[in-house]
Amino acid sequence: MNDAKSTANRDTVTLTDNSTGKSLELPILGGTVGPRAIDVSKLYAETGYFTYDPGFTSTASCDSNITYIDGEVGVLMHRGYLIEDLAENSDFMDVCYLLLHGELPDAKEKTRFEKSITYHTMLHEQMNNFFRGFRRDSHPMAVMVGVVGAMSAFYHDSTDINDPHQRMVASHRLIAKMPTIAAMAYKYSVGQPFVYPRNNLSYAENFLHMMFSVPCEEYQISPVLARAMDRIFILHADHEQNASTSTVRIAGSSNANPFACIAAGIASLWGPAHGGANEAVLQMLNEIGSKDRIPEFIKRAKDKDDPFRLMGFGHRVYKNYDPRAKVMQKSCHEVLGELGIEHDPLLEIAMALEKIALEDDYFVEKKLFPNVDFYSGIILKAMGIPTSMFTVLFAVARTVGWVAQWREMIEDPKQRISRPRQLYHGYAQRDYVPLDKR
Ligand code: CMC
């Protein structure tokens, strides 16, 4: 039905409706790298047809200059820089600046940026009351959704999305305050007093300080652990149009304020198919319990009638090893070494599971490789971070990606409210049935 051809000015694809014989030429759009896209934006107006693509497996929803993934090869780049290079040579503040501004900062720009983030780390004191409204056993992601959404009620001077300065202030506030909110959610859950941020610490150090210091004893921050935490933040910073980022873009497309949009992103991230997978991986490794039970779990993952999946395996885009998982695996060994943990039973199960799965026909055929969440939980657990906080850390790191993508969308002249269409399978019009006749 379709054939691609090149015209003098542009490439097009011709769509022919076999029932009417009518044809329509659709432009093919190309980016810098990666697959090209057929522009169907005029399709409905010209033909009365929609396209149908549940889960958006073949649909590009926007133009973007921020992040590129080649899932077949296993490549992830931010603004053209490979994630492995950024994880090795940059810190999280560099990566935040890069995602927000398009270039790595020079020394002066970096100092100014870090100062702005540091300046915004404290939370409005009255927001402390919000935490007290939650049950102590609330999942910290529930607290994050609520408190980040509540920021809209406290920072009125940065909710005008039409003002570029306010957009930037809101972006900095969100990046700066997320670790504070996350650590407060944790402190509340364990009944300890909130610990205020300290301006002389780096982003990752500050987070560890707010998590683990108590008024009677300062937490001694290990540089190896701070570097590992910083690297975890880098590896989760952005991942193009994933579910939570698309949620942020869709929420923002109605011109909702940035705090409300990021709260929507956090809600989407929570699910175990997305950011919740790091928590689910650890639960799964604990459930497996010993290496000899791995075959049983592999069998369950392959069974169509069993909803169980190997958590931390598979990805919508990566059909190769997730490049973030490789860095994470290396970091995992460094952290366990620093902490003097020679034999971690969960790591041993994880490594054995990975080996068996990578050799199994089912996983090979379906191209199911370990993803970023497979090893992160083991590192976080070794650092003393409770399992329920794993997805919260993902949210802290992903905030920069969300705000960068949100700002790119607002600044795109082509931006319109996101409003997908549907294929309706419900009743056609029918007569109303009064209550006594039902
Ligand atoms: N274990 C067993 N089978 C799997 C798995 C898995 N982890 N993942 C996919 N499959 C199978 C699935 O059953 C399907 O088989 P079939 O074609 O026979 O029906 C096939 O592989 C394709 O799976 P899909 O669900 O259609 O693929 P998707 O692109 O819609 O889903 C995914 C991607 C990440 C949701 C899925 O691989 C999954 O549920 N993985 C486990 C959860 C996880 O680790 N999520 C973290 C993703 S990375 C971080 C992030 O983005 O937040």
pLDDT tens for 343-376 read 888 889 998 999 999 999 999 999 999 888 888 8
For residue 43, how far is the Cα from the chain centroid?
Answer: 31
Separation between Cα atoms, residue 341 and residue 336, nearest integer Å: 5
Q: 315 CA to middle of ligand 1, Å?
A: 6
Q: How far is CA 203 from CA 210, 351, 406, in A?
A: 11, 31, 22
Would you call 416 exposed, middle or buried from its count of C-beta atoms within 10 A (0-12, 13-18, 19+)?
exposed
What percent of the chain is predicted at pLDDT more than 70? 98
Confidence of residue 9 (pLDDT cuts 50, 70, 90): low
Q: Do strands 75-78 and 2-6 pair parallel, antiparallel, or not at all (unpaired)?
A: unpaired
Q: 310 CA to middle of ligand 1, Å?
A: 8
Q: Edge-to-edge strands of the sheet including 2-6? A: 2-6, 11-16, 23-29, 37-38
Q: 250 CA to middle of ligand 1, Å?
A: 23
Cross-strand partners of 313: 370
Q: What is the DSSP string of 267-284?
A: HHHTSTTTTTHHHHHHHH
pLDDT tens for 48-97 read 999 999 999 999 999 999 999 999 999 999 999 999 999 999 999 999 99
Q: What does the pLDDT average to over 226-238?
A: 96
Structure tokens at 172: 């900095």
CB atoms within 10 A of CB 259: 23
Does ligand 1 lie within 6 Å of residue 313's CB atom? Answer: yes
Q: What is the rounded radius of gyration, in angstroms, for the C-alpha atoms of the chain? A: 24
Question: Reduced to 3 states, what is the DSSP secondary structure of residue 221?
Answer: coil
The answer on pLDDT for 6 being more than 80 is no
Does ligand 1 lie within 6 Å of residue 230's CB atom? Answer: no
* Structure-token match 């926007």, residue found: 62
> Residue 24's closest CA among 53, 10, 45, 8?
45
What percent of the chain is predicted at pLDDT more than 90? 87
Structure tokens at 139: 């999942």
Does ligand 1 lie within 6 Å of residue 373's CB atom? Answer: yes
Separation between Cα atoms, residue 98 and residue 152, nearest integer Å: 26
- Amino acid letter for position 169: V
Q: What is the mean pLDDT of the chain?
A: 94
Structure tokens at 199: 């301006």
- Measure the N-to-C terminal CA separation of the chain; round to a whole number of Å: 47
pLDDT tens for 276-314 read 999 899 999 999 999 999 999 999 999 999 999 999 999
Which of 87-96, 113-122, 343-352, 399-408 is predicted with the least confidence, judged by mean pLDDT? 343-352
